[in-house]
Amino acid sequence: MIRTFSSRAGRLSATNKHYLNLNSSCVLSQDYKLKENSKEILLDIGFGDGISLSEDIEKYKDILFIGIEPYKKGFARMVEFYEKNHPNNLLLYNGCAKDFIKSLECKVKYIRIHFPDPWPKKKHAKRRLINLNFFNLITNILKPEGLMQIVTDSYIYQEHIQEVIVQQKFFEIISNYPIGYAVSTFHKKGLEKKHNIKEYNLKLSRN
């Protein structure tokens, strides 16, 4: 399978290593079977350093957020946040979202992908997470009328996403997504560079 993320681990501090090795109750293993939950589930794919995720879980306590991130340093920081605050609406998976989705046995109401790695060079375009195969994959785990939000400041990725949206037949574009979000690290970078930030809000209409 083509990897959509770089192998950067970031220099792990002793604190990062401590939280990675902790066996925290918020961490989902590869073979974890998610039980039915009274809360609607939101998958936050590629939460990075978790700055926005940690604010959003405080604001939307009736949503169960599952943060998915292969980047170990960001993941460790989010485990640390969990251990210090014990929110009851956060679970974390350290790995690739495609693997997680393939083994997920329940349906989710929301997916969000904020500032996915744009892989702007043409020769790397196949490493972009968002493509027709990915759209097909998520139709298996979204509830009927489930919602997906993609946000990016990359003009090249915006053009790419627009092409994928035109090609696919499962989602319709909607104007509003009911779950807001705090400004993330990559969102802030985009604002500082005065990039045009675009949101794609999609509703599953057929699968």
Ligand X SMILES: C[S@@+](CC[C@H](N)C(=O)[O-])C[C@H]1O[C@@H](n2cnc3c(N)ncnc32)[C@H](O)[C@@H]1O
**Site membership for ligand X, residue 5 (CB under 6 A):** yes
**Site membership for ligand X, residue 98 (CB under 6 A):** yes
- Residue list 126-145, contact with ligand X (CB under 6 A): 129
**Site membership for ligand X, residue 97 (CB under 6 A):** yes
Q: Are 207 and 145 in contact (CB under 8 A)?
A: no
Q: Is 152 helix (H, G, I), strand (E, B) or coil?
A: strand
DSSP string, 21-82: TS--TTBPPTT--PPP-SSEEEEEE--TT-HHHHHHHHH-TTEEEEEE---HHHHHHHHHHH
Q: Are 187 and 197 in contact (CB under 8 A)?
A: yes
Minimum Å gap between C-beta 38 and ligand X is 26
Contacts of 94 (CB under 8 A, 6+ apart): 20, 27, 69, 70, 72, 75
Which of residues 101, 184, 200, 204 is near ligand X by CB under 6 A? 184
Question: Which of 193, 206 has the CB closer to ligand X?
Answer: 193
- Residue list 14-33, contact with ligand X (CB under 6 A): none
**Site membership for ligand X, residue 112 (CB under 6 A):** no
Q: Select the span of 19-27, 83-91, 113-121, 191-199 touching ligand X (CB under 6 A).
A: 113-121
**Site membership for ligand X, residue 70 (CB under 6 A):** yes
Which of residues 16, 90, 116, 135 is near ligand X by CB under 6 A? 116
Query: How distant is the alpha carbon of residue 26 from its chain centre?
Result: 16
**Catalytic: 117?**
yes
What element of type H or E holds 101? Answer: helix 97-103
Residues binding ligand X (CB under 6 A): 4-5, 45-48, 68-71, 74, 96-98, 114-117, 129, 184-187
* Active site members: 117
